[in-house]
Amino acid sequence: MTATRIQVRGDSPYDVVVGTGVLAELATLLKPGVRTVAVIHPASLPEISRPVGAALTEAGYEVVELPVPDGEQAKSVEVAAQLWSALGRYGVTRSDAVVGVGGGATTDLAGFVAATWLRGVQVVLVPTTLLAMVDAAVGGKNGIDTPEGKNLVGTFLPPAGVLCELDTLASMPRADYVAGLAEIIKGGFIADPTILTLIESDPEAATRPDGPHTRELIERKIQVKADVVGADLREAGLREILNYGHTLAHAIERDEHYAIRHGEAVAIGMVYAAELSRLAGRADLVERTRTILTSVGLPTAYRADAWPRLRDHMRLDKKNRGAKQRFVVLDDLARPGRLEGPAEELLEAAYKEISA
C-alpha cells in the first residue's frame, strides 16, 4: 500500500509518513549533512529497532545504538544524563541526528535529549505503538518526569520527520494497543466526530491492528494533531485542546507511580472532563464517552479514596495559571472550551461520578 504523507505546518514544517513497508523512507526525512545517527530505542525491542539501524547503515550513516529502559522508566533525568554522556563519547555534533524508535515514552525522551544536546540537534521519530503514532511522536512536545509529576521538564522541538511503519503494530500487546485508542477517541471528541462513528460502528474491530478502519483512524487522528500543532506549537492557546482529559489523567499516573498506561489514565480523565462539562452546564457527552470507552475495553472509573491526593497532584498541571486551576471541557461535540477556576465542590462532585 502506498505511503500517506501528512504535513505538519509551522515555522519548521515536516512530514508524518504513514504506511506499510515504509522504512526505506527514513533516510529521506533526515536533513542533509548528517554523518552520525544516534538511535535511541528500548533495550527490550531489539527486533523492532534493528531494521531501523540497518536501514540507516544501508543509507550510508554511521549508526550508534543507544538502548534505554522500557516505557515510562526511561523518562527520567538519570536516563537523559546517560544519553548526554553517550552522545559526547560518540562525538555527535550539531550536524548529526537523533532517531527515536519506540512507544511514546521513548519518543518523548529522544525528543528531549535531541532538544537539549548542544542546545538542539535534529530528531526523527519512528513511533512503534498506536499511541505514539497518533499522538506522542507528532507535534514536537517532549519531556521527562520528575518525582513531583508527569512531563514536568521538557521542550518544544518539532521533529525533522515522523515515520509510522504500520507493520510494527502487529506485535503490540492488546492492552497497549487499546490504550492508544484513548488518544484517538480524544481526537474524535475534540475535533473529528467521524472517528467516533467509525469506532462505534464496530468497536471490536477498532481494537485490532488489522481492523478495517485502522489506517483511517490513525490518519484522521494524526491530521487532528497536525492541524492543531501546526497552528500553535507552543501551546499559547489552541493546543490546550489536545490536553482534554489529561488534567486528571496525569494525576492518576502519578498516583499509580506510572504503573497505569497513559492511555488508560486518559480514558478515565476524559470521563471526568465530560462530567465536569455536564455539571458546569456545558455539553453533556457523558454517556457517549463512557459507552465508547467501555466498548473498546478502556477504564472509566477510579478509586474513590484517591480524590484528596489527585486534587493535590492537579495543582501542578501546566494549564494552571497561578492558583487558578484550568480544564479543557466540551461546549459541544468537537467544540472544546475552557473551565477556569471551578469551585472545589464542582471538582469533587465530578469525581464522585467517576469513583469506583
Ligand X SMILES: NC(=O)c1ccc[n+]([C@@H]2O[C@H](COP(=O)([O-])OP(=O)(O)OC[C@H]3O[C@@H](n4cnc5c(N)ncnc54)[C@H](O)[C@@H]3O)[C@@H](O)[C@H]2O)c1
Ligand Y SMILES: O=C(O)C(=O)C[C@@H](O)[C@H](O)[C@H](O)COP(=O)(O)O
Q: Which of residues 55-74 bind ligand X (CB under 6 A)?
A: 70-72
3-class DSSP state of 72:
helix
Nearest to 78 by CA among 87, 69, 91: 69
Question: Of ligand X, ligand Y, none, which one sits near residue 255, judging by CB under 5 to 8 A according to partner kind?
Answer: none
Give the residue numbers annotated as catalytic, written as ranges.
119, 141, 183, 225, 235, 239, 243, 246, 250, 262
Q: Which is nearer to ligand X, 282 or 336 (CB)?
A: 336
Residues in CB range of 54: below 8 A, 6 or more apart: none
Measured from each CB, the residue nearest to ligand Y is 151
User: C-alpha grid cell for residue 209?
Assistant: 491492528
State the minimum distance, in angstroms, from the CB of residue 141 to ligand Y: 5
| Contact map string, positions 123 to 162, toward ligand X, x by CB under 6 A | -----xx-xx--xx--x-xx--------x-----------
Name the amino acid, one letter, at 296: V
Question: Of ligand Y, ligand X, none, which one sits near residue 278, judging by CB under 5 to 8 A according to partner kind?
Answer: none
Q: Which is nearer to ligand Y, 180 or 209 (CB)?
A: 180
Out of 34, 39, 48, 115, name the contact with ligand X by CB under 6 A: 48
Alpha-carbon distance values, 43 to 106, 110, 129 (Å): 11, 14, 15
Q: Are 335 and 260 in contact (CB under 8 A)?
A: no
Annotation-wise, does 262 bind a ligand? Answer: yes
Q: Is the dihedral of CA 268, 273, 279, 281 positive or negative?
A: negative
Annotation-wise, does 73 bind a ligand? Answer: yes
Residue 324 sits at φ, ψ, to 5 deg, of: -80, 115
Annotation-wise, does 108 bind a ligand? Answer: yes
Residue 192 in contact with ligand X, rule: CB under 6 A = no
For binding to ligand Y (CB under 6 A), which residues are involved? 135, 139, 141, 151, 183, 235, 239, 242-243, 246, 318
Alpha-carbon distance values, 298 to 17, 51, 190, 226 (Å): 28, 32, 18, 25
Question: Of ligand X, ligand Y, none, which one sits near residue 246, judging by CB under 5 to 8 A according to partner kind?
Answer: ligand Y
Question: Of ligand X, ligand Y, none, which one sits near residue 347, judging by CB under 5 to 8 A according to partner kind?
Answer: none
Nearest to 162 by CA among 346, 280, 5, 348: 5
Known binding site for Zn(2+): residues?
183, 246, 262
